[in-house]
Amino acid sequence: MTNEWQNFLTQHGGKVNEQGQISFANSPRDEFAQLESGCHLASLDQIGIIHVTGDDAQAFLQAQFSNDINLIDQSTSQISAYCNPKGRMLAQFLIIPADNEYYLIFPHSLMEKTLKRLRMFVLRSQVSLTDVSNEMVCLGLIGNNLGDIDMALPESDYGLLMNEQTFITKVPAIPSRHLILCPLTVAQAIWLKLIPNCGAVSAQSWNWLDIQAGLPSIQAETVEEFVPQMLNLELIGGVNFKKGCYPGQEIVARMHYLGKPKRRMFKLHTDTEVVPAAGDDLYLHGGDGQSAGKVVMAQPSSSKGTDLLAVIRLNHADSTELRLGSADGPLLSFESLPYSLESK
């Protein structure tokens, strides 16, 4: 987040917290409780943006990612995994096409290492990868009743609308939500246009809705921890098993065709108010002391306690003794995901 954008938000009611993030309420919980009613606008400060250009941009991304880049067009966005040769995920992207160019949306904390690694494989390809996080802004539009905002919006998940330099894609969640990608000056104009009819919320509200929708994200603490199936990526449209090779493809395909994952991502709740970090371990009370799972992402619940997504060994998936942080830590309970864990 640039100083110019931060200053703009603080001039319009935002406050910078201890982590350098913008907030608009006394606590995230105050925001979460309001999300199911009305319209809300979030500044997605945590997002990084890579702009991919050049004659070979499509072929380059096709050879690197788990999804089929050739299937997206100017009316669709796409999620995809970036893996190491062992099939372990280095990052997960939301990919937005722009004519023959692409924007890769993912946590900014992964920018330096991810950009460096991608550039290693450019070789003689006519491809340029540029961090444009200081020039472009991502906004999150949240709400089921958006009739008063005077903006055309895609209606289907990962549908995409473009208007000059502004890209709007629908992201799965209840309530409905859309990600808006645009230049900094355009973001300021959109904010001023929409905020009279929308409450301002923090990026934590967007992240909390990711958890409710069962949409994972690789964080710095979980790089190279998970293969795509552990995060349910093939169940939510992030893996294509019919495309050609990419790093880790053999491992990912073997798990799909010759077996099934021994771990899956689940949604859980705990009454503790101490929010765990990505990568924190789960344990069985009275177990053998080995990790039974790992936190993917977590946020305070809308009422009390903490909501989280975690990858768990399937033989522990019905356990009533799963604990956070240690075998004697806070008790975890399973909650329903909005999609089936059975492979299609």
Please tell me the distance from the alpha carbon of residue 23 to that of residue 13, in angstroms, as a whole number.
9
Residue 130 near residue 123 (C-beta atoms within 8 A): no
| Residue 299 and residue 252 share a domain | no
Three-state SS at 117: helix
| Residue 231 and residue 181 share a domain | yes
User: Do the domain assignments include residue 338?
Assistant: no
| Residue 46 and residue 3 share a domain | yes
* Residue labelled with tokens 């998970």: 226
Convert the pLDDT of each residue in 299-310 to its tens digit.
Answer: 999 989 999 999
Q: Please give the torsion angle defined by the CA atoms of residues 31, 157, 190 and 197, in that order, rounded to the nearest 10 degrees.
A: -50
Residue 309 near residue 38 (C-beta atoms within 8 A): no
* Residue labelled with tokens 């299937």: 71
Residues near 32 by beta carbon (within 8 Å), at least 6 away in sequence:
205, 208, 299, 300, 301, 302
| Helix orientation angle between 184-194 and 3-11, rounded to the nearest 10 degrees | 10
**What CATH number corresponds to the domain at position 112?**
3.30.1360.120
> What single letter denotes the amino acid at residue 317?
A
User: Do the domain assignments include residue 47?
Assistant: yes
| Residue 236 and residue 313 share a domain | no
Question: What's the DSSP call for residue 256?
Answer: H
| Residue 119 and residue 54 share a domain | yes
pLDDT-based confidence at 104, cuts 50/70/90? very high
The most confident of 73-82, 145-154, 279-288, by mean pLDDT: 73-82
pTM: 0.95
User: Do the domain assignments include residue 150?
Assistant: yes
Residue 171 near residue 10 (C-beta atoms within 8 A): no
- Tell me what percent of the residues of the chain surpass a pLDDT of 70: 98
Please tell me the distance from the alpha carbon of residue 124 to that of residue 122, in angstroms, as a whole number.
6
Range of the domain at 310: 262-331
> Residue 137 has which token pair?
């802004």
User: Do the domain assignments include residue 339?
Assistant: no
**What CATH number corresponds to the domain at position 307?**
2.40.30
Q: What is the pLDDT of residue 222?
A: 98
Q: What is the pLDDT of residue 277?
A: 97
| Residue 60 and residue 129 share a domain | yes
| Residue 130 and residue 4 share a domain | yes
| Residue 238 and residue 112 share a domain | yes
Query: What's the structural domain count of the chain?
Result: 2
* Residue labelled with tokens 């550039």: 119
Q: What is the pLDDT of residue 148?
A: 64
Q: What is the pLDDT of residue 17?
A: 78
Please tell me the distance from the alpha carbon of residue 193 to that of residue 151, in angstroms, as a whole number.
10
User: Do the domain assignments include residue 344?
Assistant: no
User: Do the domain assignments include residue 336?
Assistant: no
| Residue 87 and residue 234 share a domain | yes
User: Do the domain assignments include residue 107?
Assistant: yes
User: Do the domain assignments include residue 133?
Assistant: yes
| Residue 280 and residue 236 share a domain | no
Residues near 64 by beta carbon (within 8 Å), at least 6 away in sequence:
82, 118, 121, 246, 247
Strand blocks (E) in the chain: 15-16, 22-23, 40-43, 47-53, 78-83, 89-98, 101-107, 128-131, 136-142, 160-163, 166-171, 177-183, 199-201, 263-270, 281-284, 293-300, 306-313, 322-324, 332-335
| Residue 43 and residue 10 share a domain | yes
Q: What is the pLDDT of residue 276?
A: 97
Please tell me the distance from the alpha carbon of residue 50 to that of residue 32, in angstroms, as a whole number.
29
pLDDT-based confidence at 342, cuts 50/70/90? confident
Residue 184 near residue 147 (C-beta atoms within 8 A): no
Convert the pLDDT of each residue in 165-184 to its tens digit.
Answer: 899 999 999 889 999 999 99
Q: How many CB atoms lie within 10 A of CB 206?
A: 27
Residue 101 near residue 61 (C-beta atoms within 8 A): no
| Residue 134 and residue 120 share a domain | yes
